């Protein structure tokens, strides 16, 4: 059929194709205006609709960014509040623990000071120096000796009395000086005591000072969050991302621990619930082992929640202390029992493995070997210990889980923003490309019909007329850009009017 059409005009292929080409070019020339309009309107329509899509996506992106920012700031503010609260609580503890003893400390210091003062006063009571008996004795000694024995005797007596008196006074003075030295020496431990007390006061005051500095730093951070500064948002965002990766890593480690735990109890569990029944494609015994591990994790969550370490369940957090304590005891008891069950299952696993090993040996004809039988208890104890410890280790999964969930919100928000942004860019690019393609098609169309167009131009040139079609096309080509320019001008006018009005106000 196509061959018949091809050779419709002539048996010569070239001639027939040439005729077909000329016919097509002529038809295309006739429909030039309509074709141009079709290309331009289609391109413009697609471009406009994609532009609208781009704007919608931009709004969505803005909304998401705003929401993400709000979440980040709220989370950050809450964390900062908690941190400040904790710091105040520490300060309170410090004040209660250390400064509550301050009155007694003050009394002790006062008493020590009083003792020192008293001792000082006592030591300051100066014993009068011995009178100048020496001069009297010297004067008496220098008196002229007339040979009168009576006078001599009197003088000698006087001299002796004076000397005795001098000796006594000197003795009393020395004694008083020794006492004063003793008092001053007894002041030394009091001084040391006073120094120690003042040192401890200094330490406490320094501790408080450090806490207040930490509070100042936290308050500055909190203030920045409350003021919604970009720096605070950026810091919170990077912090959330870090938290996400760290908690994710810890969760992976915990998952591996859970896997080990599962391997430890899955086989002996088939001894309890049977190894033949299936739920879906999974053995019931495997599901039972998995359930035990999940229950342990749940109990760990409840335990840490009731200890107020995590805050995943507001209901538990808002319970009164008595109820919370009960819940804590119950969840710990269940966790302990499950850990005991796991330890026994781990032991059973060891027994089953031994039994299976013995069977395999008898089937292969090797016979049971007693090699290293005396050390068989080591892996048994190891498995039992692992079975007991792993549930408690898994219980702590609640902490990274909470961190992961909190940071996941922010990370998902950021991912959504990134995706919307990428989509917006793609939409805008596609719109631009389609618009450009429509223009290219117009030119390509003219390129195909360039012969009649050139002929038309030559005719016009000689006749001195211009085709109304061209004007129309030119107008239609320029109308869009004019409209856009006009819109921009109106917008600029509006904004300038608004600014002027605000200036006037």
C-alpha–C-alpha distance, residues 37 and 438, integer Å: 10
Is residue 271 at the binding interface for other proteins, with CB under 8 A as the rule? yes
List 171, 356, 494, 499, residue binding other proteins (CB under 8 A): 356
Is residue 344 at the binding interface for other proteins, with CB under 8 A as the rule? no
Contacts of 311 (CB under 8 A, 6+ apart): 305, 317, 402
Nearer to other proteins, 94 or 353 (CB): 353
List 352, 399, 416, 423, residue binding other proteins (CB under 8 A): 352
List 131, 274, 317, 382, residue binding other proteins (CB under 8 A): 274
C-alpha–C-alpha distance, residues 284 and 265, integer Å: 13
List 363, 371, 501, 505, residue binding other proteins (CB under 8 A): 363
C-alpha–C-alpha distance, residues 225 and 214, integer Å: 17
Is residue 85 at the binding interface for other proteins, with CB under 8 A as the rule? no
Number of residues this chain uses to bind other proteins (CB under 8 A): 20
For residues 194 and 107, the answer to whether their CB atoms sit within 8 Å is no
CB of 387 to other proteins, least distance (A): 18
How far out from the chain centre does Cα 194 lie? 46
CB of 44 to other proteins, least distance (A): 50
Buried b or exposed e, range 377-393, using 16+ CB within 10 angstroms = eeebeebbebbbebbbb
Is residue 290 at the binding interface for other proteins, with CB under 8 A as the rule? no
DSSP sequence for 240-304: HHHHHHHHHHHHHHHHHHHHHHHHHHHHHHHHHH-SS-EETTEEHHHHHHHHHHHHHHHHHHHHH
Is residue 359 at the binding interface for other proteins, with CB under 8 A as the rule? yes
Nearer to other proteins, 282 or 457 (CB): 282
Pull the structure tokens for residue 92. 């309170």
List 277, 385, 467, 479, residue binding other proteins (CB under 8 A): 277
C-alpha–C-alpha distance, residues 411 and 238, integer Å: 10
Residues 150-179 that bind other proteins (CB under 8 A): none
C-alpha–C-alpha distance, residues 268 and 352, integer Å: 7
List 276, 370, 372, 504, residue binding other proteins (CB under 8 A): 276
Strand, coil or helix: 349 = helix
Is residue 327 at the binding interface for other proteins, with CB under 8 A as the rule? no
Is residue 297 at the binding interface for other proteins, with CB under 8 A as the rule? no
Is residue 364 at the binding interface for other proteins, with CB under 8 A as the rule? yes
CB of 378 to other proteins, least distance (A): 23
Is residue 270 at the binding interface for other proteins, with CB under 8 A as the rule? yes
Is residue 368 at the binding interface for other proteins, with CB under 8 A as the rule? no
List 101, 242, 333, 362, residue binding other proteins (CB under 8 A): 362
Give the interface segment with other proteins, choosing from 187-195, 268-276, 296-304, 392-400 (CB under 8 A). 268-276
Contacts of 48 (CB under 8 A, 6+ apart): 431
Is residue 278 at the binding interface for other proteins, with CB under 8 A as the rule? yes
Is residue 367 at the binding interface for other proteins, with CB under 8 A as the rule? no
CB of 441 to other proteins, least distance (A): 56
Torsion over CA: 164, 166, 168, 170 (sign): negative
CB count, 10 Å around CB of 176? 14
List 267, 384, 394, 417, residue binding other proteins (CB under 8 A): 267
Residues found near other proteins in the complex (CB under 8 A): 267, 270-271, 274-281, 352, 355-356, 359-360, 362-365
């Amino acid at each position: 059929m196509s061959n018949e059409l091809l050779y419709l005009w002539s048996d010569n292929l070239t001639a027939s194709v040439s005729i077909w080409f000329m016919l097509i070019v002529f038809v295309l020339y006739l429909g030039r205006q309509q074709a141009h309009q079709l290309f331009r309107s289609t391109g413009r329509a697609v471009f406009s609709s994609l532009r609208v899509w781009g704007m919608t996506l931009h709004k969505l992106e803005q909304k998401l960014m705003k929401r993400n920012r709000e979440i980040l700031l709220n989370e950050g503010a809450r964390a900062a509040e908690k941190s400040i609260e904790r710091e105040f609580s520490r300060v309170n503890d410090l004040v209660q623990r250390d400064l509550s003893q301050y009155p007694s400390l003050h009394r002790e210091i006062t008493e020590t000071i009083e003792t020192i003062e008293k001792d000082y006063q006592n030591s300051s009571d100066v014993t009068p120096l011995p009178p100048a008996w020496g001069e009297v004795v010297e004067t008496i000694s220098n008196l002229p000796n007339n040979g009168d024995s009576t006078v001599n005797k009197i003088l000698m007596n006087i001299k002796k009395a004076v000397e005795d008196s001098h000796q006594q006074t000197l003795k009393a003075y020395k004694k008083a000086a020794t006492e004063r030295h003793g008092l001053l020496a007894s002041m030394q431990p009091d001084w040391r005591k006073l120094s120690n007390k003042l040192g401890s006061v200094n330490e406490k005051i320094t501790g408080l000072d450090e806490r207040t500095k930490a509070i100042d730093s936290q308050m500055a951070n909190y203030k920045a969050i409350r003021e919604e500064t970009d720096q605070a948002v950026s810091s919170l965002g990077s912090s959330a991302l870090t938290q996400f990766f760290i908690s994710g890593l810890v969760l992976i480690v915990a998952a591996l621990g859970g896997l080990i735990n599962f391997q430890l109890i899955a086989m002996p569990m088939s001894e309890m619930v049977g190894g033949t029944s299936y739920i879906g494609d999974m053995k019931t015994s495997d599901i039972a082992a998995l359930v035990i591990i999940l229950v342990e994790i749940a109990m760990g969550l409840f335990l840490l929640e009731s200890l107020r370490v995590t805050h995943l369940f507001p209901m538990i957090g808002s319970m009164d202390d008595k109820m919370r304590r009960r819940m804590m005891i119950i969840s710990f008891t269940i966790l302990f029992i499950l850990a005991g069950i796991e330890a026994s299952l781990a032991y059973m696993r060891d027994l089953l493995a031994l039994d299976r090993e013995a069977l395999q040996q008898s089937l292969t004809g090797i016979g049971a070997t007693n090699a290293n039988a005396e050390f068989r208890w080591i892996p048994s104890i190891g498995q039992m210990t692992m079975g007991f410890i792993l549930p408690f280790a898994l219980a702590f999964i609640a902490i990274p889980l909470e961190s992961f969930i909190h940071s996941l919100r922010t990370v998902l928000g950021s991912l959504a923003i990134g995706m919307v942004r990428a989509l917006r860019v793609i939409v805008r690019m596609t719109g631009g490309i389609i618009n450009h393609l429509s223009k290219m098609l117009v030119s390509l169309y003219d390129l195909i019909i360039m012969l009649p167009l050139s002929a038309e131009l030559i005719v016009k040139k000689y006749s001195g007329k211009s085709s109304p079609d061209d004007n129309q096309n030119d107008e239609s080509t320029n109308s869009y850009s004019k409209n856009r320019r006009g819109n921009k001008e109106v917008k600029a006018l509006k904004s300038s009017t608004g600014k002027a009005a605000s200036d006037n106000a």
